[in-house]
Structure 1
């Protein structure tokens, strides 16, 4: 799941290859390297946790990359591979390429936070205009589930309004919730369900781990329960229907406070 303008003082540092995390310097993709619609998989390839050319991505490589870079446990990383392998059309495939993920409406979908819909052009290259639309709803320096959910809803609404081929199934919704919560998983506070906006913007814009900004791989292991809980938090925040509980509670406080 183009971005923030970083302080000028960092420009010289960012121009050179660095080592975030240790032993995995960032290297921009070359003209013959594959990249896809997922910023995190692209980032893992740019840091050579996954093959830098974006080819021959096997289960073992995904498990190793997710564990080393993000501290995912093995079963969660294996699940990520199983979700991606469907993009390879070959029967009984044991690997996928990042280019295969670009096929529209397999895993890639409309309403991305950082890519334009396939109907309008490239569905996998970072689009600054689209990302600027997303950032409008990130109204604080610390992003929470509500801000991320608002940007998700807005992108879907924009896509539905202007894309005549708009498609967003219940399966896509499940993927989308996981994608929108991914910045918290990678860079944020799993318990508070928050993440520093600067880290997220830097990541999307550069497809690079934000080590220069102080990030490091989390020490606690991430498991499937964490992903499900965060996805549910985004889902709850995406609900546009409110209840009367807050209103009733406020009225009771006012009455007991002697304001009426």
Structure 2
């Protein structure tokens, strides 16, 4: 029994040692990387091609399933959203470099990248990220903190970037991006995530396994993403609830009615 068990144990140990989470590698100068920290992280760990090229539907679905436990439908949707960055007709793959084209998927007011107007729009920018983190006011990030950082980056971009562009489509992408740390590392139901994990991820483009993180057991679906992005969207509102009671006449006057 021992003779059988030992090789199995050694085999498991070998597989664990070769797990992609333990094979993080910084990209080579010739490797493609894009504006999305998560896709870059998947490439750095070898879930996606390390060179950032020839990312097919099958590769995308498998990578998101293996690394983040996304179901097939969600992984397929992620690929379909990214493939539009490839300008070739009937393209079957995209590269991380193609995602850098401004105002296709990449957009102004990133949480961790500079606007294209100011220069490089896909390399991690510490100054920008420090600005975002100003609004992360506790050790556990919630929807309000993440939403505050998003709003602040948009206000800053609108104020200083003469080419500031932010369409309704970009808003949907932005909400998804702001939700991503919770999806990957946090509590989907509570919409919270450990700040240390998020900072480590952004700053290193690496899964925070050495901080104790591991892939969640439950599968992530489109319903989970939809609910979470709506939570973030609700938190971006600057209108508070619990409006004080005032007279009908005063309220109507404020509404512009001549009563």
TM-score w.r.t. structure 1 length? Answer: 0.86
Q: Contact conserved, 1:141 with 1:197, CA < 8 A, in 2?
A: yes
**What's 2:204 paired with?**
206
Gap regions ≥5 residues in structure 2: 1-15, 247-259
Divergent runs of 4+, >3 A: 18-24, 245-248
Mapped to 2, the partners of 1:165 and 1:23 lie a distance apart of 39
**What's 1:35 paired with?**
33
1:124-182 deviation per Cα after TM superposition (whole angstroms, max 9, x unaligned): 00000000000000000000000000000000000000000000000000000000000
Aligned residues: 231
* Equivalent of 2:163 in 159, 162, 165: 165
* Equivalent of 1:236 in 234, 237, 240: 234
**What's 1:253 paired with?**
none
- SS of equivalent to 2:135: coil
**What's 2:104 paired with?**
106
2:225 is the alignment partner of 1:227: yes
Mapped to 2, the partners of 1:136 and 1:109 lie a distance apart of 21
1:87-143 deviation per Cα after TM superposition (whole angstroms, max 9, x unaligned): 000000000000000000000000000000000000000000000000000000000
Mapped to 2, the partners of 1:19 and 1:207 lie a distance apart of 20
2:57 is the alignment partner of 1:59: yes
1:25-82 deviation per Cα after TM superposition (whole angstroms, max 9, x unaligned): 1000001000000000000000000000000000000000000000000000000000
**What's 2:114 paired with?**
116
Q: Contact conserved, 1:21 with 1:69, CA < 8 A, in 2?
A: no
Q: Contact conserved, 1:21 with 1:217, CA < 8 A, in 2?
A: no
Mapped to 2, the partners of 1:189 and 1:21 lie a distance apart of 24
Aligned pairs for 1:62-73 (under 5 A) are 62-73=60-71
Mapped to 2, the partners of 1:61 and 1:118 lie a distance apart of 29
Higher relative contact order (CA 8 A, sep 6+): 1
The alpha carbon displacement at 1:19 in A equals: 6.0
* Equivalent of 2:80 in 82, 85, 90: 82
Mapped to 1, the partners of 2:51 and 2:151 lie a distance apart of 34
Q: Contact conserved, 1:21 with 1:211, CA < 8 A, in 2?
A: no
The alpha carbon displacement at 1:241 in A equals: 1.4
RMSD: 1.7
Gap regions ≥5 residues in structure 1: 1-17, 249-260
The alpha carbon displacement at 1:24 in A equals: 5.4
Mapped to 2, the partners of 1:60 and 1:175 lie a distance apart of 22
Mapped to 2, the partners of 1:84 and 1:21 lie a distance apart of 26
Q: Closer, same or farther in 2 for the Cα pair 1:129/1:23, shift >3 Å? A: closer
Mapped to 2, the partners of 1:243 and 1:140 lie a distance apart of 23
The alpha carbon displacement at 1:214 in A equals: 0.1
- SS of equivalent to 2:85: coil
Q: Contact conserved, 1:67 with 1:73, CA < 8 A, in 2?
A: yes
